[in-house]
Structure 1
Amino acid sequence: MNDIKSFMASDAGASARYQQRRKRRVHINIDNIEPQSKKMSVADRTAFQTEIAKQLTSVKRSTFRGDVALKLDLATASKSPAHAHTIAKNLLDLLGDRMTGVAWPKKSLLYGDDSQIQALSVMCRHGEDQPNVRIEARPFSSMLDDLELAAIALRDGENMESYYEREREDEWIDTYRELIRDEKLQRQTLGDEMYEGYCKMVRWSAQRALLGRSGVDISVLSWLYGLPRGIPTGFDKSMWAGLVGDSKLRLQVGELPIATGGSSAFKQKVSDEIDAFKQRWDWVINPLVVAVALEVVVRPNPKTPPAVLHDLDNIVRDYLIPGIVPAFGTVSDQRWTIDFADLRARDPKFADAWGPNPTPPAGTRNGVTRYEVWRLPAVKDEPGFVSVALVADIDAKGDLMDQMDEQISAWRDKLSDDSRLPWQRRR
């Protein structure tokens, strides 16, 4: 018995539990069905649900009963595809209630209702050769266990070099501030053409630095959920939520509406906060020259009736994207941030490597590269909030779920390289 307890308390035991949790994930991959909005034909909707049922049956999985963490990775091939958030709305509905005629023993497919989704990530690539839908779902409790392990692994692997690297990144913001403040002198010194080129490069780096630290990372996300357990941080999860909710690097849009007629006031709050954010940061982010994703942290008011609890996707689709995308000029793909005419003039060979049509269909330009939403538990006697970050999406880091898996994978690789036996290493 002592050996079992020792193993379970060791790094090897934590690694084994993580591997077991991975087996609880559901992976669905659907080719040759174009991801579409609610305008999707009945035949395509039926085919989509039939494929979901088929793949769930093949891995002997049933409908999720409890809370879920969900990822949608979409690829469209249509010349006039719908925007990602309208596609997601349709697919999330199709993952719930089963349509008549679809062979499946239950009334619902992947989950009973999309209110079960407590963490959601949506990514969409337009202009692909073939359409594709990839879905990953796991119990939300497993997600929290993965988050806790990733936070511990990150803490164990931290070093001062990463801290200094962040400091060096932040220096670009000061450099850009000085560059535009002393524009006249800089132009005289460098010449107009060199100044413009240098200013463009520094602005890109400054936006990457500013929006690279606007989102929450694995450590902060874990603290928001009160993790890791048993390891004091000096702040409880409510205090961490307060810090995130007060950050001037994020859009703080207040509580979600829970009373009739509250939607208009909330939309106005979103608009006002966008204006305030632009007043603070327009000097560095206008125009945006980096692609951005949305990262949203939601904590509901504890008095919110279950019947009016907002689905995570609805928050983004109904309240955030309609205001944020046009206000900041965000684009749905990094390729829209490249001036291909300028590239072709400077380096025709490299430009040709992108092909004759390097950008996705024109109608998909306005948007964000991806979005993810995390719902925190309500806290008694504490107000709710919605906190939004425009996150630079240029380093192929992926969403927080991907980052967790990558961090844990690196940690597990180190276990195998340790000279001691893995079950002797204590957590």
Structure 2
Amino acid sequence: MSATDRAAFQTAVAEHLTSIKRGTFRGDVALKLDLATAGKSPPHAHTIAKNFLDLLGDRMTGVDWPKKSLLYADDSQIQALSVSCRHGEDRPNIRIEARPFADMLDDLELAGRALQAAESMESHYEQEREGEWVDTFRNLIRDEKAQRKALGDKTYEAYREMVRWSAQRALLGRSGVDIPVLGWMYGLPRGLPTGFDKKMWAGLVGESKLRLQVGELPIASGGSSKFEQNVVDEIAAFKKRWDWIISPLVVAVALEVVVRPNPKTPPTVLHDLDNIVRDYLIPDIVPAFGTVSDQRWTIDFAELRARD
């Protein structure tokens, strides 16, 4: 992005903040970036996100804004970060949502209460039925010889990929931290007993075999190399455990990162969320797990519309 484009972006942000009478955030922030690209060879999503996160911080010279910082003074204020990036769109688009982190927790509590009120046995049965796809896929590949004989090679392979898709959705869906669990990790909703306190819920997430457990972030000199090796080792262990079902990936996946710094960590060495993902996780996770292509991205819809 050129200096002119960066200045134009910051000017647009400053004008919008002025129009809604919003100053620079001083406390913790929850931030959402929704990006769309139209270029044939766009940068990686984490590179795009990092560039915009930097632009939302220090104000450039010449941008009309009364303070040195634009949206926040330091990206360490970002306590919750959501990034989605869609490539191959007709036109590029940038959508940014920012709010005080406390407001996000209030919304999380409200959502948790709403889900609890709407909970039914049918939803539990639906989750159980979804999980059965993993066993179905396991039996299908275990009994491959007989299944091929009964169905024929082409039908078997088509059925196997369909079941793999459902099995991956079931397996990876169970690994995610949903709204109730995320709320419980923050002790929400208040006054609703769950049998565990927030530390115990965080511990359960931190011990799940369906997630990559990479240990504590490095805070001492020379600790980065050890942490990076932990990431590599954990990826290898995870793939050894689940490669039979996740290789190749046939469902689009999101990278969900939960960071719980050691309470004894000095504030001066705390890692920013975006740097953790960009520097330590993405470089090893993406090559190891691969990416999923959507057939829609191989179709030039603009050309088809022109023909019509």
TM-score (norm 2): 0.95
Task: State the match for 2:148 in structure 1.
Answer: 187
Partner of residue 297, structure 1: 258
Q: Are 1:213 and 2:198 matched, yes or no? A: no
Q: Does 1:232 align with 2:199?
A: no
Q: CA deviation at 1:354?
A: 5.6
Select 2:116's aligned residue among 155, 165, 170: 155
Equivalent position of 2:277 in the other structure: 316
| Letter matched to residue 77 of structure 2 | Q
Supply the AA of the counterpart residue of 1:219: P
* Aligned-residue offset at 1:338: 3.7
Paired position in structure 2 for 1:114: 75
Kept in 1, the 8 Å contact 2:14–2:64? The answer is yes
Contact preservation (8 Å) 2:88, 2:297: no
Report the secondary structure of 2:254's partner residue. Answer: strand
Aligned to 2:233: 272
Q: Distance in 1 between matches of 2:192 and 2:170?
A: 30
Higher helix fraction: Structure 1 or Structure 2? 2
Question: What CA deviation, in whole Å up to 9, does each residue of 1:66-103 have, x standing for no partner?
Answer: 00000001112233221110111111111011011100
CA distance in 2, matches of 1:188, 1:353: 40
Q: Alpha-carbon deviation of 1:353?
A: 9.2
Matched-pair contact (CA < 8 Å) for 1:72–1:121: yes
Uncovered stretches (5+) of structure 1, i.e. residues with no partner:
1-39, 342-351, 358-427
2:239 is paired with a residue whose SS is helix
Figure out how many residues of one structure are paired with residues of the other and give that number: 304
Structure 1 equivalent of residue 10 of structure 2 = 49
Answer whether contact 1:289 1:337 (CA < 8 A) is retained.
no
Distance, in Å, in 1 between the alignment partners of 2:244 and 2:50 is 35
Q: 1:247 aligns with which of 201, 205, 208?
A: 208
Question: Equivalent residue for 1:141?
Answer: 102
Structure 1 segments (4+ residues) deviating >6 Å: none
Distance in 2, matches of 1:274 and 1:134, equals 32
Which residue does the alignment assign to 1:257?
218
Write out aligned runs for 1:25-424 (5 A).
Answer: 40-331=1-292, 336-338=293-295
- Deviation per CA, 1:142-200, whole angstroms, max 9, x where unpaired? 11111111111100000111111111111111010000001111111111111111111
Distance 2:291 2:112 in 1: 31
Q: Which has the higher strand share?
A: 1
- State the SS of the aligned residue for 1:227: coil
3-state secondary structure, aligned to 2:256: strand
Aligned residues of 1:92 and 1:114 also touching (Cα < 8 A): yes
Shift of 1:129: 2.3
Question: Which of 1 and 2 has higher RCO (CA within 8 Å, sep 6+)?
Answer: 1
Instruction: Structure 2: state its 5+ residue gaps.
Output: none
CA separation in 2, counterparts of 1:176 and 1:90? 41
